[in-house]
Structure 1
Amino acid sequence: MRFERSHTRRAVALGVASSLVLLASACGGDSGDKNSSGGGGALEGHGPITFATGKDTSGFLPKQVAAWNSQHPDEKVEIKELPENANDQRQQMVQNAQNQSDAFSVLNMDVVWTSEFAANQWIEPLPEDKFPDLPKLIPATVETAKYRDKLYAVPITSDGGLLYYRKDLLDQAGVQVPKTWDEMLAACLAVQAKVPSAKGMSCYAGQFEKYEGLTVNFSEAINSAGGVVVDKDGKPNVDTPEALAGLEELTKGFSTGAIPKAAITYKEEEGRRAFQEGKLLFHRNWPYVYALAQKTDGSSKIVNKFGVAPLPGKSGPGVSSLGGHDYAISKFAKNKATAVDFINFMASEARQKVNLSGSSQAPTYASLYDDPALNKQFPYLAPLKASILGAQPRPRVVKYGDVTAAIQDAAYNALSGKTQPKQALTDLQTKLTSLITQ
């Protein structure tokens, strides 16, 4: 689902400077060249472009881009692979924008970056009529691509948190799939007591390293206990009994050993590998894990041994943070008409279906979740659809880099025992109040 603090004042200054440059360019008229000159507001120009994206852990993205390149030999897309850590991805994109560089054309952005990039004029506003399939997408995914009701990106993948579990071991112990945190802990104890091969396994892990995944897992715990980080009016409201119950569920997991100590270093991939290696009974992660955990190349020890369910919560099924990725066009890119066409290509229903089959990443077309053939291939689609439809967004704020850093600091300090949960939430409420202004 990783951020370093952004330099907002500098960004605003650069945004103003960029606007003046754009105005001067507009007054100068069109040169008539086929290729756009970068930095202009018009979505014009055809030719080669670049695609800045985080590290592709699925291994399938190059095939998607190759499909475009084979059909558009004069408008080839070059993948610019950024780090796996989303904090570092965002930082490189921010630096590229602050330098007004044309090195990145299309940006593969986390859904929570839209407000920041749009407010700083780092990405182009997009006319909705250039993207005719938008009405077919899950509405919540389209909202992630908007800032002040204007479209700035196109949702390509969505994401909802899922509970992966060892179905074989639960079946051997005669245990039902848990719907609450207490049921999950009871299931762990029962499996460990009744199944000899489960002794020594840890109960549960999510993503608890100090990066964006921790913001996601913290938010899910708070939301699943009936609390909020930021309320419907956009105001921080995290110092509440409900939020405390959610955070204490995580801190209790670490203190009792239900969550292994090593999980304080887990990002998505570390947790996935631990689950695939048979070290975890339950694991919170994204849909992409399914295809990798089912690979028969020897990398997974749990092929056909696991199931997928909704996240557990305090008194029933939990609440996922809404994840996913949107494609945006850099304000400073060249060949923006090609960028529009590439985004439409990647956003098409046919291409999203291929991507689901090849990488198990969540599509944004509602229709694909109801496709019988896909449901047979990916039994998790029903709980995933429910997860996405019930998901809560992370704070949609301009200073998202600062906000998520504050959340990560508070959560990490509580999980590592440096700060008591109540004090961590009190301090976080104060920090978020200073960062989020209406």
Structure 2
Amino acid sequence: MKRALALGIAALVLAGCGTSTPEADGRGPITFATIKDGTGTVPKLVAAWNAKHPDQTVRIVDLPEAADGQRQQLIQQAQTKSDTYDVITIDLPWNAEFAARRWITELPRDQFDVDGFFAAPLKGSEYRGKLFSIPHFTGAGMLYYRSDLLAKAGVTPPKTWAEMKAACAKVLALPEAAGASCYAGQFDKYEGLTVNFSEAVSSAGGEVTDDAGKPKLDTPAAKTGLDFLTTGFRDGSVPSDAITYKEEEGRRAFQQGKVIFHRNWAYIHALMNATDGSSAVQGKFGVTVIPGASGPGVSTLGGNNLAVSAFSKKQDTAREFIKYLTNVDTQREHAKGSAYPMTRTAIYQDPELRAKYPYLPVLHDAITSARPRPTLVRYGDASSAIQEQVYAVLGGTTTAEQALSTLQQQLTEFAQGS
């Protein structure tokens, strides 16, 4: 009797396990928490997925516009172990933190055709040698320049900081450049300053942290990089109001003819080439890789990744959806509908896309040589510290030596406290 009862219970258990409902095997409708797409391309791609997967439909939830707000919302969901989100969009520098906190799940490397991605974004998607997210968008800073004025002054696009300064001297002597400044990047106290500082250090041959997360700011290269930014403010090469520049403020300054050279992302290309009268530099600018201390510079890698929430009950569908959004065919369609830089190298060789986005060869080279931001689990703390210290140097309230010494100590503490 007892044996029969046990067999009956076992049969019921096995029957329950074999019902294969979408929820039971990790499949079913999912929610995709991501940044808002103003072009409407992502909703179209999601609609195409939904048409083919009526039992595994995807609903888009827009995250806040600012990166800090996105991160805060995702962390709140993770800390409460909420299963509201299945697939989430994270900034590349957050990968280590989210993986270390076990807020996202490890992804099977052999399921994602990883050989087709740029090496740098893929490397940044790992934590302790394991893959935890997939590159969706990427990006690297490029140097925009006034091609009309450089041609008139008889100079070529610079490869080094010294060449840029020399080119500026000739261009600014032209009547057409009256009232302009040489260079601008992103120098307000926000994430963009971390990016510009990291680029300057890397472009001087240094690194903010090594691959293991160990700070490397007590080096001559770090000092050279910070001096490049500081000197520009001191000698007037950088306009004084650039201390308030984020991406859009800098873009408008270049677009209005106030600076000769400008470091920014690929998205501004179309805005500056607008033919509706909004751009004073339409057809009068070019783009090249950022300059460095002794040769072409090293951009800081940008971009967003897709990850599966550790608390999702639809893990299989979430992974399949990420594979769909990041395969080469979907990325090609995505690129046709928006200027977001894709993460697969094949997209940058497409003749149709090269004709549409003439900067793709430059962007390809910039991404290939780019470095990720500091590799630390406590990345948010590290970025805030960098912003605080570098902004103080640019504003003249502390010295480069003191700022770098403080940062070396702070980032060491953050690395040890991971």
TM-score, scaled to structure 2: 0.88
Residues 354, 280 of structure 1: CA spacing in aligned structure 2 closer, same or farther, 3 A cutoff?
farther
Which residue pairs with 2:127 in the alignment?
147
Unaligned runs of 5+ in 1: 1-28
| Letter in structure 2 aligned against 1:190 | K
Other structure's SS at 2:173 match: helix
Do 1:160 and 1:323's aligned partners in 2 also have CA atoms closer than 8 Å? Answer: yes
Summarize the alignment of residues 70-109 of structure 1 with structure 2, pairs less than 5 Å apart.
70-109=51-90
**Within 2, Cα distance between the matches of 1:56 and 1:282?**
29
Which residue pairs with 2:282 in the alignment?
303
Other structure's SS at 1:325 match: strand
Do 1:58 and 1:292's aligned partners in 2 also have CA atoms closer than 8 Å? Answer: no
| Letter in structure 2 aligned against 1:46 | G
Which residue pairs with 2:217 in the alignment?
238
Other structure's SS at 1:300 match: coil
Which residue pairs with 1:352 in the alignment?
331
- More deviation, 70-79/102-111: 70-79
Match of 1:333 among 312, 328, 331: 312
Q: Does 1:260 align with 2:239?
A: yes
Residues 265, 358 of structure 1: CA spacing in aligned structure 2 closer, same or farther, 3 A cutoff?
farther
Do 1:36 and 1:336's aligned partners in 2 also have CA atoms closer than 8 Å? Answer: no
Which residue pairs with 1:169 in the alignment?
149
Q: Does 1:427 align with 2:409?
A: no
| Letter in structure 2 aligned against 1:80 | V
- More deviation, 68-77/257-266: 68-77
Unaligned runs of 5+ in 2: 1-15
**Within 2, Cα distance between the matches of 1:274 and 1:102?**
44
Which residue pairs with 1:120 in the alignment?
101
Which residue pairs with 1:374 in the alignment?
353
**Within 2, Cα distance between the matches of 1:386 and 1:279?**
27
Which residue pairs with 2:8 in the alignment?
none
Which residue pairs with 2:12 in the alignment?
none
Do 2:159 and 2:291's aligned partners in 1 also have CA atoms closer than 8 Å? Answer: yes
Q: Does 1:46 align with 2:28?
A: yes
**Within 1, Cα distance between the matches of 2:233 and 2:32?**
39
State the shift of 1:327 in Å.
0.3
Residues 254, 51 of structure 1: CA spacing in aligned structure 2 closer, same or farther, 3 A cutoff?
farther
State the shift of 1:178 in Å.
1.1
**Within 1, Cα distance between the matches of 2:21 and 2:273?**
47
Match of 2:170 among 168, 187, 190: 190
Match of 1:159 among 139, 143, 152: 139
Other structure's SS at 2:397 match: coil
State the shift of 1:104 in Å.
2.4
Residues 255, 65 of structure 1: CA spacing in aligned structure 2 closer, same or farther, 3 A cutoff?
farther
State the shift of 1:378 in Å.
2.4
| Letter in structure 1 aligned against 2:80 | N
Residues 380, 182 of structure 1: CA spacing in aligned structure 2 closer, same or farther, 3 A cutoff?
same
Do 2:188 and 2:244's aligned partners in 1 also have CA atoms closer than 8 Å? Answer: yes
Q: Deviations over 1:121-175 (max 9, x none)?
A: 11111122332x2222223222221111211111112212111112122222222
**Within 2, Cα distance between the matches of 1:282 and 1:368?**
27
Other structure's SS at 1:107 match: strand
Other structure's SS at 1:339 match: helix
- More deviation, 254-263/146-155: 254-263
Identity of aligned residues (%): 51
**Within 2, Cα distance between the matches of 1:195 and 1:316?**
30
Which residue pairs with 1:9 in the alignment?
none
Do 1:146 and 1:153's aligned partners in 2 also have CA atoms closer than 8 Å? Answer: yes
Residues 50, 305 of structure 1: CA spacing in aligned structure 2 closer, same or farther, 3 A cutoff?
farther
**Within 2, Cα distance between the matches of 1:334 and 1:261?**
52
Q: Does 1:68 align with 2:49?
A: yes
**Within 2, Cα distance between the matches of 1:320 and 1:366?**
17
State the shift of 1:30 in Å.
5.5
Other structure's SS at 2:172 match: helix
State the shift of 1:232 in Å.
4.4
- More deviation, 354-363/53-62: 53-62
Q: Deviations over 1:152-207 (max 9, x none)?
A: 111112212111112122222222111111221222232221142x2222322212
State the shift of 1:308 in Å.
0.9
Do 1:230 and 1:395's aligned partners in 2 also have CA atoms closer than 8 Å? Answer: yes
| Letter in structure 2 aligned against 1:344 | K
- More deviation, 118-127/270-279: 270-279
**Within 2, Cα distance between the matches of 1:316 and 1:56?**
36
**Within 1, Cα distance between the matches of 2:199 and 2:337?**
28
State the shift of 1:58 in Å.
5.6
Q: Does 1:130 align with 2:111?
A: yes
Other structure's SS at 1:123 match: coil
**Within 2, Cα distance between the matches of 1:296 and 1:68?**
35
| Letter in structure 1 aligned against 2:169 | L
- More deviation, 63-72/300-309: 63-72
Which residue pairs with 1:213 in the alignment?
192
Which residue pairs with 2:260 in the alignment?
281
State the shift of 1:35 in Å.
4.4
**Within 1, Cα distance between the matches of 2:270 and 2:337?**
8
Other structure's SS at 2:207 match: coil
TM-score, scaled to structure 1: 0.85
Q: Does 1:322 align with 2:301?
A: yes
Residues 244, 335 of structure 1: CA spacing in aligned structure 2 closer, same or farther, 3 A cutoff?
same
Which residue pairs with 2:10 in the alignment?
none
Aligned residues: 402
Do 2:210 and 2:375's aligned partners in 1 also have CA atoms closer than 8 Å? Answer: no
Larger Rg: 2
Do 1:173 and 1:195's aligned partners in 2 also have CA atoms closer than 8 Å? Answer: no
Q: Does 1:178 align with 2:165?
A: no
Do 1:313 and 1:319's aligned partners in 2 also have CA atoms closer than 8 Å? Answer: yes
**Within 2, Cα distance between the matches of 1:75 and 1:35?**
8
- More deviation, 86-95/228-237: 228-237
Other structure's SS at 1:193 match: coil
Do 2:256 and 2:280's aligned partners in 1 also have CA atoms closer than 8 Å? Answer: yes
Do 1:35 and 1:334's aligned partners in 2 also have CA atoms closer than 8 Å? Answer: no
**Within 1, Cα distance between the matches of 2:190 and 2:20?**
44
Residues 146, 64 of structure 1: CA spacing in aligned structure 2 closer, same or farther, 3 A cutoff?
same
**Within 2, Cα distance between the matches of 1:36 and 1:54?**
26
- More deviation, 71-80/151-160: 71-80
